[in-house]
Amino acid sequence: MATATALEIERRSSALGALITGVDLAGGVDDTTLTALQDAFLKYQVICIRGQQAMTPDDQLAFASRWGEVSVHPYVPSIEGHPGVMKIHEPTPLTQRWHADTTHAERPPALSMLLARVIPEVGGDTMWSNAALVYEQLSPGLRATLDTLHAVHQGTTLADQAGLDRKAVTQSHPVVRTHPITGRKALFVNGDYTTHIEGWTPEESAPLLEYLYAQVGRAEYVYRHKWRVGDLVIWDNRCTQHAVVGDTGGAERVLHRVTLFGDRPV
C-alpha cells in the first residue's frame, strides 16, 4: 500500500495544475496518502497522478468513493457493468468548448477523475482554466455586478435524445459561486450549459457571457495537459473549466471518467 512519504508533487503552471508520482492507486492508499492527495487537489485544483494504467474500472470507482459519492450521469450511459464510469471518446464540439461538467444539475459534480486508457500519438490534449483566478482578475465593478446575478443552465441536445424533459435538466445557479471548502469565489457560467442570465433575455445576456467565456480561455489562466496512458487527472469542477484540443486527426482516444456529487452552488 502506497504511503504519503513516497509522493512527489511538481507544479505544472503558475495558474493551476500539478503532477504527482510515487503512488500506485491500484494497490490502495492509506488515509495519510489520501489526505496528502486531497490537500494537493485543493491547492492546485487539477492534479495528474501518473502511472495508473493498472487500475481497473472497479479500482477507479473504489478510489473515487473515498472522495465522496459517485454520480451517475443523467443521460450519458456508463460502461457496461460499472455504473458511474463514463467512456470519453474523441473530441466533440461540446468537449472542445470551455465548460465545467454537468452544471445543469441541481448538485453539479464536486470533482471529476479521468483515467487515460488509449491516447493518440499526437493531439488530444486537455486544457484547464482557473475560474477563481479569472473572477479575481475582473474589475471590482464587474465583480460586484456578477455577485448579484444568477444564470440558467440547461442540458445539451443529448438530454433531448435521451427523452428527458427540459425542466429535469434545467437549473439556476449563481454566476459566481463560493467554494464550500476554501471559500474562494469562482466564475460559474460556461458555453456548454449556460443559456442566459436569469431575468435577462438570451440576446441581452450574450455580450456579457461571451466576454466572460473569452476570459476563461486566456493563456495565463490555463494549464494544458499532454496525456500519457495511465494518467489519472482529478479536477475541481467547482472552480475550474476545461476544454479538449480537437487535433487528434481521428486517431483513437479513450478515457474513463468518474464524477462525484457536489453541493448546490451558493
Q: CA 21, 223, 188, 175 torsion: positive or negative? A: positive
SS3 234: strand
Q: Is 117 a catalytic residue?
A: no
The one catalytic residue among 50, 99, 104, 153: 99
Active site (annotated) includes residue 196: no
Q: Is 225 a catalytic residue?
A: no
- How far is it, in rounded angstroms, from Cα 182 to Cα 165? 35
99 is catalytic: yes
* DSSP of 150-210: EEEEE--HHHHHTT--GGGGEEEEESEEE-TTT--EEE---TTTEEEETTS-HHHHHHHHH
- C-alpha 259/C-alpha 237 separation (Å) is 9
| Closest alpha carbon to 71 in 98, 116, 46, 102 | 102
Residues 6+ apart with CB under 8 A from 80: none
Catalytic residue among 50, 101, 231, 256: 101
Which amino acid makes up residue 89?
Answer: H
Instruction: Give the active site residue among 73, 104, 238, 257.
Output: 257
Catalytically active residues are 99, 101, 242, 257
